[in-house]
Amino acid sequence: MSLRSSRKTKSILTKSTELALAVPLVVAHRSARMAQAGSTPTARDLKEFNRMVAEKGTAFAQAWQAMAMQTLVANQAMAASFVRSFWSPRGKVTPAKVAARLHGAALGVLGKGLAPVHRKATANARRLARTKRR
């Protein structure tokens, strides 16, 4: 595994861990808020409830867009690599190198898709941790 691929893996692992820690906190806070609000939520509660629905669509749309763009970039790089392989000396392009490039491309797509969801969830966890309860 190359150093660059190793860094991508660590970054994805770090973001996944932070996401796994932030999501339960956000869900617990919002569930408690919904239970406390009951059938008569305040304007502040309604704002938070609307926000939690809207932000998911935005974060996942951003994730899909980022993944699609990174897939396009990776496909272009792989196509260029394939064309260059015709002019390279025999044995220079090995299956292991191709597999490493595919692995790096997959990590790149995954990292780009995880970033917007991670950013929103961790920001919510920080924001909701500061929120004073009624």
Percent of the chain with pLDDT over 90: 69
Residue 62 CA to residue 55 CA, distance in Å, equals 10
27-37 tens-digit pLDDT = 999 999 999 99
55-104 tens-digit pLDDT = 999 999 999 999 999 999 999 999 988 888 888 777 677 888 888 899 99
Q: Is 106 left (phi over 0), alpha (psi -120 to 50) or beta?
A: alpha
- What pLDDT score does 105 carry? 93
Q: Where residue 6 falls among pLDDT bands split at 50, 70, 90?
A: confident
- What pLDDT score does 35 carry? 94
Residue 59 CA to residue 20 CA, distance in Å, equals 16
Residue 69 CA to residue 66 CA, distance in Å, equals 5
